[in-house]
Amino acid sequence: MLTRIDHIGIACFDLDATVEFYRATYGFEVFHTEVNEEQGVREAMLRINGTDDGGASYLQLLEPIREDSPVGKWLAKNGEGVHHIAFGTADVDGDAAAIRGKGVRVLYDEPRRGSMDSRITFLHPKDCHGVLTELVTSAAAATTEH
């Protein structure tokens, strides 16, 4: 069951400048940074608030480290802006299977590692009214579940 908006992914050309904008404009501070080689991005997670299920909601700022990465290709085509929305779940495998059963294309056969050691998969935007949608199980939820 989807429990919250985990994060909104925002593609940007310059991660440091974008972080500074969100810090100076809204007072959001960086909670976590990392480079995800598999996804080809350098990212910053800005924590917005805690949630009833013990998780949190974030803005995820994404700067490509390779032009041929999914975010790099997306930026070249669309420019900066909202890249995807992610919903939190305690069971990314089960929810992905249930959604697949409703005819929505799930982009990964098996969930992959995401930010902060989470487990993630994506749903095809053409099946989600033009919105690239991510399902996320946080590392803490995945640890207690398995």
The set of catalytic residues is: 7, 43, 60, 84, 134
Phi, psi of 139 (to 5 degrees): -60, -40
Contact (CB, 8 A) for 31 and 23: no
120 vs 138: CA distance, rounded Å: 9
Query: What's the residue count for the chain?
Result: 146
What are the angstrom distances between the C-alpha of 22 and each of 29, 105, 108, 118?
8, 33, 31, 24
